[in-house]
Chain A
Amino acid sequence: GAVVSQHPSRVICKSGTSVKIECRSLDFQATTMFWYRQFPKQSLMLMATSNEGSKATYEQGVEKDKFLINHASLTLSTLTVTSAHPEDSSFYICSAPRSRGADTQYFGPGTRLTVL
């Protein structure tokens, strides 16, 4: 069964609104979670590394003030797309390593965001 869940699986929102996406590890604790996005016909790209209890690390070109990441507990990381615009429409996916530094990562099923 799934060990990483995401909610919601799909969301449609109006331009200018904020959308929160949750990523949960279901039967293990994740001090680190990763957030990715994939624009249509493009590769899945790492956006940021979410660290429990500390600030997230963002990849180059990703606006930290637009994509707010909160990793307040060992089983939950949230990604908030603030003031969403149509160009933010994408597939967002999270992953978490089974343990610190582990090779094995578990991936969430993804969230498809459509901004009208």
Chain B
Amino acid sequence: KQEVTQIPAALSVPEGENLVLNCSFTDSAIYNLQWFRQDPGKGLTSLLLIQSSQREQTSGRLNASLDKSSGRSTLYIAASQPGDSATYLCAVSGNQFYFGTGTSLTVIP
């Protein structure tokens, strides 16, 4: 059974810092990996999608990488802003979705 782990569980940084969120998964047989943002009480917002054949995707200040063989993905956020404060989830897609437990990010003004 696929297991998805996110480290750290919580992270607090001052505004302007670059940061990295980590996601690891146990079964490399995946179709794709996605990163989501979750605000309290709200639905998920898709940030980046990496197909299994891809190594990375970029959108604005966000960059996500995928190393399928080692079962790892990272989400890099450049020049963090207070508005980036949220919980970030990664999910891998095989026959079904497997979500990580999330990293709660707080960016301090």
Contact = CB atoms under 8 A, between A and B. Distances in A.
Given A41-B32, A44-B97, A93-B97, A103 B46 contact: no
A44 B43 contact: no
A64 to B, nearest CB: 16
B76 interface: no
Contact of A32 (B41, B45, B102): B41
B24 to A, nearest CB: 18
Contacts, number: 49
Nearest to A109: B96
A57 to B, nearest CB: 10
Nearest to B31: A41
A107 B36 CA distance: 13
Given A107-B97, A109-B96, A110-B96, A44 B46 contact: yes
Contacts of A44: 34, 36, 44, 46, 91, 93, 97
Contacts of B34: 43-44
Nearest to B101: A104
B49 A43 contact: yes
B44 A46 contact: yes
A34 B44 contact: yes
B40 interface: yes
Contacts of B46: 43-46
Most A CB contacts (10 A, CB to CB) among B32, B38, B41 go to B41
B51 A41 contact: yes
Nearest to A110: B96
A101 interface: yes
Nearest to B98: A107
Q: Which 9 A-B pairs have the closest CB atoms?
A: A101-B41, A43-B46, A34-B43, A46-B43, A43-B49, A110-B96, A109-B96, A101-B40, A103-B87
9 contacts: A32-B41, A36-B44, A43-B49, A44-B36, A49-B43, A93-B97, A103-B87, A107-B97, A109-B97
Interface of B: 32, 34, 36, 38, 40-41, 43-46, 49, 51, 87, 91, 93, 96-97, 99, 102, 104
